[in-house]
Structure 1
């Protein structure tokens, strides 16, 4: 019985069709290009012969019979050699030959061509390119034999992955130390982007120019202003750093802390109950202590930088103040005629001229000092010597004051807010805080969009820009009454771009909340019940809000890093 016609046709098609490249004669040298010939020379030790000569003719066709016989003889000699004699792994210059050169095939491919050797045994070293990953400049051989007991050292217990983990080898110990360091000091955003870009270019086969192309093609400046980053409500990206005053702790309660007004000067001052003012360089790691000022005759309750950043003002429950010049390092007491020549203890009383409440205007030309009987004294700072040039008076003792641009705002014990025209020495507007009981602290943001008033009941009323207007017939309504705390508010502070508001109370432990603006909601992830804040007595943000500092009654200045504002 004959075969089926369809089967005969299928068999014929299978015989005619073949995969691509299966019918190529491997011995045909004329069909190979230069790259294939060079690769065969590197792998199999064959002499490299270019396919095209300088005259444009095929080099194989122009070889003489003696040359062809020499090539065939070399191939026959290589066929009799073992694989171990043909190949080896190049780990760099060997110990036996420290001066042996390392070939670079990428820069000079012709360097890999074999050269005739006088010995009968033919050896062809192969130089392989190292991987793109950088190798360490030096490796300690003792790391392989090192053992570390994590359970015996208290500071190393944080490196354990399991509670019962004990001894680690040197390599694993190094890896965990590196992991802990990267956890405490995460890579900045620009470095992470650069790494992703290099990986992407390595995959795509592109070369990175280090950002030079972006710099040359862009129209922005080399040193551009930082972008405003919007903080979302709910979760705050924050981490605890080393205490600012760990190198020089205070003996007693921290009365005041203040960051330098310039973002280029990483300074922080702290005034404590031991009548000392300490300066620290805030770098987020060691925070070195720079200087200590001891003023025995003044228990400084307020310490602040001048808006220009060139000096420090120190005030307290005394009718005089001290200034410290950062450039010259000199301390100066206020002149005798600060309060004029008509000073009388019978009329004013020494306690009535306390300078605990003092604040500079944004330009630093006028210092406002709050008194007890409704007076707010104005000190002319431009003259250099300091002189009270005028006063404004409310109906009750002043509990807090704050400058809104050129206008001065004061808060009285009767919860009334006065807005003063300093030039005319007159009140242009007056309104009462909502609730109207026990107002303690008044402050606002730099842009003049918000004002906040804290009371004895723990409620903080946040007002909008309508409360800062110079004219208004109706009493402004608060945007929201924050009732996150239940004790007397002692500290209220806005950050530099009015996205965060910190409120604190020194009456109870751990009484601090960070409010998100403009949603006016507290962040839920920080602080927690386990955050060791203590009795918070002072709060301040750095110039760019990268750091937030808190002083407590135990003399510690806590420091936290806000990752959303990292430079």
Structure 2
């Protein structure tokens, strides 16, 4: 369009120059100029519409016809636009040189205005080219190259994953450069491999801590097998943990397959069970919950505390303060649903754990007892036993707290013990006589004389009723085989007979205050309160005392009470300092 307009202008100018400026020619020129101006105005209007379409496209236009119109024209006019721009420059130079001398001043002024308009139009036409560039040539090989690069990267990743082992995502260089003194703290001394070792590198210290943690908390066998089967693609039911459980009728929980060594017992010292809330007095009672990982502590500070036992944090669950009762005895009853606490008062309390309800019981109906401190119970029995000074044992219902029956003895009663099933009660008195009571009939089954015990102080029966032990005021503990007791009872002509101990433990020199069997009847714990560190563990059935623990570095304090967890995985010891010492027994894997 620009070329045609310039050719018309040049032809008009030549005709005017040839005719010498006649009036007819002037009218013709004016007519042509007017028509050319109208054409320019139409082109400008047309250009403005094109610009409008372009603005709609750039700033939010959504008309497909506009997009096709703009981009279609741009692609079709790309080659022509470059040629027109070159030819326009050449022609404008030639026309400028020819018309400098021939045209009059008036026409030169009008020509300048027309040239300015043409420059504006050219700049508008050239502006589109500078704003947009449409690449119509596609690289056919680009897709193939991308695919080849992605394949090469995946191959390299697979090769690296096969050749290289798993490494840490992040390594702290300061840990490798640091050194840790193992002798500075008592906890870190156990990490030494040799007695003379003092300092180790940070990464070595980290690895030994990890090994110590794995030693304290070993991975169960079922977890190892489950991890192996998780990577096994086979569909056989025999290879799964569930398949093993379904293919056998053996109990899920059984005794350890290896026997406990009679001379050495592995123990691991853990954080105190009551580290979150230590007792403000000596701990008089300590007991594990029969089914949950919960530990009970109570003392003369009149507070009952429950802790969650995990060996790490041992968080406190609950504490209950009894303002009028210094606690001397606290025990779980009814399968762990309830706790009973008593002391040197004529009343005692019952705590319902599930309902968080505390009930005060006013003694034993029909008996005015100033002190109920000697109370005994069992998690499996439905009875509570209170010892009185006159050789009487009062039985109370664990459910209703109502009086049931009184079991009389010939002499003053010193201690009683329930069997594991809760159906029988054993008792001993100052006259060295031992009684076996049937709680279902409230009668004495048998009675015998303990000639090896001098002034007995405590009594305990093993969970499997294979042994019973008796401690005396001289620090001697006698262990008896119940099978011998049964044979004596059958062969004796009367109800009274003598029984001799098969083993006597003389390692302690002060009065024995407590005896405790573990769940498998393989360990018997004996302790005295009169001197510090007076605790020993006895192996059964050999009757030998473990020589490696406790040692001179154990620092147990004055032991007041002790207990084993339901499966002997943990052992807790309460001392006069208000601490509940917690130990892990690695021989037993379960809690």
Superposition TM-score tier, normalisation by shorter sequence: 0.5 to 0.7
Q: 1:286 to 1:565 in 2, by over 3 A?
A: same
Match of 1:485 in 2: 508
Equivalent of residue 300 in structure 2, options 263, 268, 273:
273
Residues in 1 aligned to 2:412 and 2:357: alpha-carbon distance in whole angstroms: 34
Give the structure with higher Rg (CA).
2
Secondary structure class of the residue paired with 1:176: helix
Does 1:498 find its partner at 2:521? yes
- Superposed counterparts of 1:211-222, under 5 Å: 213-215=239-241, 218=244, 219-220=247-248
- Residue 426 (structure 2) aligned to one of 391, 395, 409: 409
Correspondence for 1:228 among 256, 276, 291:
256
Structure 2 match to 1:135: 167
Going from structure 1 to structure 2, the CA distance change for 1:133 and 1:254 (only over 3 Å counts) comes to same
- Equivalent position of 2:316 in the other structure: 289
| Aligned alpha-carbon RMSD (Å) | 3.4
Residue equivalent to 1:514 = 537
Secondary structure of 1:475's aligned partner: strand
Q: Distance in 2 between matches of 1:445 and 1:498?
A: 6
Q: Distance in 2 between matches of 1:560 and 1:506?
A: 20
Q: Count the aligned residue pairs.
A: 424
Counterpart CA distance in 2 for 1:413 and 1:134 is: 69
Matched, 1:339 2:364: yes
> Is 1:420 the counterpart of 2:437 in the alignment?
yes
Indicate the SS of the match to 1:103: helix
1:323: how far off?
1.0
Label 1:105 to 1:494 Cα distance change in 2 as closer, same or farther (>3 A).
same
| 1:548–1:562 Cα contact (<8 Å) kept | yes
1:356 offset after TM fit, Å? 1.8
User: Equivalents in 1 of 2:182, 2:218: separation in Å?
Assistant: 34
CA change 1:523–1:222 in 2 (3 A) is closer
From 353, 360, 368, give the equivalent of 1:326: 353
Secondary structure at the counterpart of residue 102 of structure 1: helix
Q: Which runs of 5+ in 2 are unaligned?
A: 1-148
Distance 1:269 1:180 in 2: 30
Give the corresponding residue for 1:4. none
Cα deviations by residue, 1:35-64 (Å, 9 ceiling, x for unpaired): xxxxxxxxxxxxxxxxxxxxxxxxxxxxxx
Deviation at 1:471, TM superposition (A): 3.9
1:426-479 deviation per Cα after TM superposition (whole angstroms, max 9, x unaligned): 333221222342100011111111100000111111111136649452312211
Residue 374 of structure 1, aligned match among 391, 404, 427: 391
Do 1:441 and 1:454's aligned partners in 2 also have CA atoms closer than 8 Å?
yes
- The answer to whether the 8 A contact 1:302-1:356 is kept is yes
Going from structure 1 to structure 2, the CA distance change for 1:272 and 1:134 (only over 3 Å counts) comes to same
Does the 8 Å contact 1:408/1:421 carry over to 2? Answer: yes
Q: Tell me: CA distance 1:173–1:213, structure 2 relative to 1, closer, same or farther (3 Å).
A: same
| Map of 2:549 onto structure 1 | 526
For 1:468 and 1:252, how far apart are their aligned partners in 2? 41
Q: Distance in 2 between matches of 1:153 and 1:523?
A: 27
Q: 1:414 to 1:248 in 2, by over 3 A?
A: same
How far off its partner does 1:505 sit? 0.7
